[in-house]
Structure 1
Amino acid sequence: MLSFCGQRLPLGFSSSISIQAVDYQSQASLATAFKGQDAIIEAFNPAAAEYQKKVVDAAIDAGVQQLITPDFSSDTFNEYAEGLIIFEPKIKAQKHLEMRAREGKLAWTAIVVGAFYDWAGIRKRAFWVDGRQCSITIFGSGDQKTSISSIDRVGAATVMVLKNTEEFKNRPAYFADWSVSTNELVEILKSLRPTIKWNVNRVPVATLFAEAKQMWDEDTVKGVKERLSTKAYQYLGTYGVFEEQNRYGGDFSGKVEKGWEKDVGELREGFHNLLEEFET
């Protein structure tokens, strides 16, 4: 059995799923795995962006028509995204993809969903709400709105894109459940559990970038290659989401596909269900 987000899941996959081992450094190996596929959904983490060029070229070699890029998170298409440093490999890889797409060899779509409030934000206690300790973290003033989604939004959005490939061809597509400020979340949580005393932790966001950049530079000197799990990476990602002027597009509500956002009642219900998980 495998433990995932506090749940016990069986190892293995459905017999209808074909599993292939590939060498990400070999374009030929990737092309063999992609042969006969109409579309590829890339679900690897940001650390694997260095292999994207080979993935793209192998997909073209195999005759793949559609590529769903490994976004499913922050808006790396924001005009200032490159300034956060952490997105540099992804942006570089995206430029290669767009160049090959202009040749008419394949189409692509990037699915941007924002932060996973249920999985990363709460179940993993990465930021925001710790249901076990009854604590809430507020970055900066707490007034900055952030576009957030439940993790199942990825599946729903991917199905939508694959069913309407021409509508979403060669562009980022934005899907979010809500765009909400931390202060609004605090009020929702307090109203859902009025007898609980929530401990509010405030983290200044104004100096977060400078601190993160210093740690990033120190890691560079140390020769750190795997950045994803470092404090510098986490701080830079957090700063990008909660920066008070929305410079990095943490709130992309103005770009969300029409009719996609849920109403506040559904937000309350979602948080109610998550709180119940901690209480059982």
Structure 2
Amino acid sequence: MADSDQGKTAQLYRMVMSEHLCPFGLKSKFLLERKGYRVEDHPLTTRQEVDAFQQEQNVETTPQAFIDGRRVGGYEELRVHLGLDNPDNETSYQPVIAIFGTALLMATAIMWFFSGAVFSLMTVEKFVAIAMILLGLQKLQDVESFSTMFLNYDLLAQKQVGYGYLYPFGETFAGILMLAGALTWLAAPVALFIGTVGAISVFKAVYMDRRELKCACVGGNSNVPLGFVSLTENLIMIAMGLWMPLRMYLL
């Protein structure tokens, strides 16, 4: 869609006042220019101008973008119009991809710094530990929202609501200990427990009950669908919970 709009003109009305420069207005202008539009910029420099524009267009917010004489809307509507976002708040795996991709790069960087090896069994261990920490951190940003979404499918949390509040701390704590290679006797059982309960809960909700839910794995406000990725996350924690004590005897 964006390719067909190349070379066209867009009008943008945005708030540019001495006490407030609207960030979404700047982002809208940047986005339109990046997509090849010549932007007719109309800064609204006073509160009176903003109020008059909103009343004239019957809108409650600025910025407002116009393309081909038709009002597209604000920044979020503009992103949808240009094909950058999904409409209707559809599910997306982007947060999970970002977290796991970052965790892999961090694990590789750590191993490269300490041993010069790009990939090894230790790299996998560090990757899982870092991923657990990052996932736990996402949940810890808003434990209340996480626990609410978690209750939709976790079997233990549905019986013991407090488990939903403890889960982010347990996941993060176990990940930190695994990253440090310390207190394996504590970290491994925690990872094994939460991974097992999580795997059973996800399997039941998705593959037995056939429910279409959002996963709380990256926090309570995510649009990540509950499914294979969620199950894999828990299976990896189970594998780490089993492997960490075993490696002490094998290596």
Report the TM-score, using the length of structure 1 for normalisation.
Answer: 0.26
- Structure scoring higher RCO (CA < 8 A, sep ≥ 6) equals 1
Please state which structure has a larger fraction of its residues in strand: 1
